[in-house]
Amino acid sequence: MIEFHGKTLETFKAGLHTHSTVSDGQFPPQEVIRRYADHGYRALALTDHRKTHPVGCYDSCGMTLIPGIEIHPQGPRGIPWHLLSLGVPEEFPAEYASG
């Protein structure tokens, strides 16, 4: 709990940038979810490179799962950016995910 402008608010742990074996992570998506749940997280965004996840198809292990993606548009001087997008549609078109 924290005090914020005179109100007591609940706090919880959330992971908002994770990778699975769908891109360059070490564990498959369901294993990532389980590991975060085992460490007390209450929300998790799956944000693999250029790929969204059907979060409704996974066992959430009691957490709120957030569909996300890490995209790489071309930035200034030809350097690719790494941008996280949360709450994207599970069928986000791949052609928008790379630069």
Tokens 């005090």 belong to 3
- Residue 29: what residue type? P
3 state DSSP class of 85: strand
Quote the number of domains for the chain.
Answer: 1
| Residue 6 maps to a domain | no
Q: Please report whether residue 2 resides in a domain.
A: no
- On whether residue 77 sits in a domain, the answer given is yes
Is residue 9 in a domain?
no
- Report the C-alpha gap between 51 and 56 in whole angstroms: 15
**Number of other CB atoms surrounding residue 31 within 10 Å:** 13
In a domain, 80, yes or no: yes
Contact 88, 51 (CB under 8 A): no
Instruction: State yes or no: pLDDT of 35 exceeds 60.
Output: yes
What's the whole-model pTM score? Answer: 0.84
More confident residue, 92 or 33: 33
- What is the CATH classification number for the domain harbouring 70? 3.20.20.140
Q: Which domain holds residue 42?
A: 14-96
Report if residue 5 sits inside a domain: no
